[in-house]
Structure 1
Amino acid sequence: MWSALTFITLMTLAIDSMVPGIEIIVSAIEDHLPRLSKKQSWAVKCVVILSIALFGLIYISEGGIYVLTLFDWFVIFPSIAVFAILECLVVGWLYGTQRLQDAIDAMWGKRIPRVFELCMKYVCPLLFLVVFAYSLYAYRPPKYGDYNFPGWATIIGWMISLVSILPIPIVFTWKVYRAPGTSLVEKLKRAIKPKKCWVPSSQEEPPYTAVLQPML
């Protein structure tokens, strides 16, 4: 009985861990296709889940443990540290903590503590940069037990790692190219300048303090 309960616990934990990733994909598709009906929305969810299930069959094949090791070796490094550094820089410096404070105040009716602003602008980027630098210093070629992966597998691993990072400079370059301006500096300034299109739907609408009160 305890073996069955342990297996069920691990299975539900795995399902729960997959829900946020699936929701991100489904939400991105539905944002681009806002006219989807409920049936079409369910069809999108089914297609996404089925695709993930089919890709997951690779991991339970005879050589699946080597594929899993390769993914596990490169899928987090160095993308997570790069994303974290960029998010802190974009929110803390480009968008600005003052605009963030105004947005939170408009939605929540409260302002975040000053220490959070300092962490977002200075502490967190520095710590993530240290983690990123140490990850590069401590990098070792992938291996599973006594088996060392060949060079072509390492190249595939780096391609796996870069596939989530490359869209950032590509989209950034495209946005700078499409930005109005006569010089590169002017285009760059306009591209990184936050837009003023976001405004509250109603100035008289009360903040959702009742909903977010337990977060205090």
Structure 2
Amino acid sequence: MNQIAWVPWLWAFLFFAMLFLLGISSQFGLAEVLCTCIYDTFPSTKNRHLSVASCVCFVLFLGGVVMTTKAGIFYFSIFNDYCASFALLILIILELILVCYIYGIRNYIKDLRSMFGPPKNIFGKIFGKTGWYFIIVWCAVAPICISVLIVHMVIDQLKVELKYGSYQFPDWSMYLAWFLSVVPLFAIPIALFANVIHFRAIKKPLKDLACVREDWGEITANESKSSISPASDNDVELEKSHASPPPSSTTASSNLYKIRPIEISSTTSDAWNPSTVTARPGKSH
């Protein structure tokens, strides 16, 4: 930056500001993903955003402290080469097998078309979001290519010595590297074990773990209406207090926003008396 003749300090400031913003934006994205997973897994933490985010950032900070030591560049090299590459390919091919051959590619395409709609022309049937091009890639091309990459990666990592520049890593570092490669895969047996315990607790057969509910993606009209129509406490109490059949969806939604009438009691005098005005709750229809 000092070689720039025109305002070198400005370009140096912009360069390091770019590095800072790049790092902090990546930090926000990673922390938000982890926090969202925690919120979805443990719903009781949804109202504790500050505590959850602080714990996540603190754990990530502890994991990054080792990178700031004198040997940090060597640990970073191991993490960079072995942390995500092997496990990512394994997870991708397992996901392809699960979706295409266990869940069924027909069921998956049916789900996609329920969201995107059916293809409208020949081009859409071949290259559309649910066309034959993606079906062939998911079922045949991608699994074959990823399998070849996995075999090549395993052979390459077994033959190539772990080095950084001219420095030769010790033998124990290879065990650390392979451990980092398989750590992300631990989530699969852990999730399976947790689901087995959950199904036994609710006394459901374990075979249901591999079964797909036919109505998993369906939402009834009443559930959809209740999710978008705000109902007050008075409406809930009013519904519980009457044993009459439930009103139609149109009538129910209109009652939520109906202005409650004001009744003026009749008096012997023609003059209007404010003390005789009483509010009467709206009647149910």
Same fold (TM over 0.5): yes
User: Whose helix fraction is larger, Structure 1's or Structure 2's?
Assistant: 1
Verify: 1:27 aligned to 2:36, yes or no: yes
Residues 1-216 of structure 1: pairs in structure 2 closer than 5 A:
1-38=10-47, 40-110=48-118, 112-139=130-157, 140-169=160-189, 171-172=191-192, 191-196=209-214, 198-202=216-220
* Distance 1:16-1:200 versus aligned 2 partners, 3 A rule: farther
Give me the whole-angstrom Cα distance separating, in 1, the residues matched to 2:104 and 2:184. 25
Deviates more, 1:83-92 or 1:52-61: 52-61
Secondary structure at the counterpart of residue 164 of structure 1 = helix
d(CA) in 1 for partners of 2:146 and 2:29? 23
Superposed displacement of residue 55, structure 1:
1.9
Distance 1:196 1:21 in 2: 35
Per chain length, whose mean CA-contact separation is higher, i.e. which structure has more relative contact order (CA < 8 Å, sep 6+)? 1
What is the rounded CA distance, in whole Å, between the counterparts of 2:197 and 2:62 in structure 1?
38
- Aligned partner of 1:98: which letter? R
Q: CA deviation at 1:29?
A: 0.9
Shift of 1:116: 0.8
Query: Could you say what secondary structure the match of 1:138 adopts?
Result: helix
Moved more, 75-84 or 100-109: 100-109
How far 1:97 moved relative to its partner? Answer: 2.0
Q: 1:50 to 1:169 in 2, by over 3 A?
A: closer
Equivalent residue letter for 1:168: I
Identity value in percent: 23
Return the letter of the residue paired with 1:128: I
Quote the offset at 1:113 in angstroms: 1.7
- Give how far 1:71 is off: 1.0
- Alpha-carbon distance in structure 1 between the residues aligned to 2:188 and 2:161: 26
Flag structure 1 segments of 5+ consecutive residues without an equivalent: 181-186, 206-216
Contact 1:94 1:193 in 2 (8 A): no
Opposite residue 21 of structure 2, the aligned amino acid is T
Contact map agreement 2:39 2:46 (CA 8 A) in 1: no
In structure 2, list runs of 5 or more residues that go unmatched: 1-9, 119-128, 201-205, 225-285
Match of 1:183 in 2: none
CA RMSD between the two structures: 2.9
Distance 2:166 2:133 in 1: 47
User: C-alpha distance in 1, partners of 2:38/2:165?
Assistant: 40
Structure 1 residues 123 and 203: alpha-carbon distance in aligned structure 2, compared to 1, 3 A threshold = farther
Q: Quick one: distance in 2 between partners of 1:86 and 1:15?
A: 32
Asked if structure 2 preserves the Cα contact closer than 8 Å seen for 1:78 and 1:135, the reply is yes
C-alpha change, 1:105 and 1:147, in structure 2 (3 Å) is same
* AA aligned opposite 2:100: G
Q: Which has the larger radius of gyration?
A: 2
